[in-house]
Amino acid sequence: MKGDWVSEKACSTCHFMTRDNICPKCRISTLSDDFSGLVIVFDPEGSVIAKAMNIKEKGRYALKVR
């Protein structure tokens, strides 16, 4: 598992974390490896953070993407 975390990037639009070259949600390739914070959303409906970040699907998201 070592090194897995490093290869991940965050979508600059929806902040979704992925190891692919395109965001599986937005289908765009503007991914950034310059991000900070990590939000894991299990329950988008009941999460205040998910609501604030406009997250509608569970998954892992970066808090800030530059």
Query: Site residues (CB under 5 A) for Zn ion?
Result: 11, 13-14, 16, 23, 25-26
Nearer to Zn ion by C-beta: 2 or 24? 24
Nearer to Zn ion by Cβ, of 18 and 47: the residue is: 18
Indicate the residue among 14 and 62 with the shorter CB distance to Zn ion: 14
What's the distance, Cα to Cα, between the start and end of the chain in Å? 26
Q: How far is the CB of 5 from Zn ion (least distance, A)?
A: 19
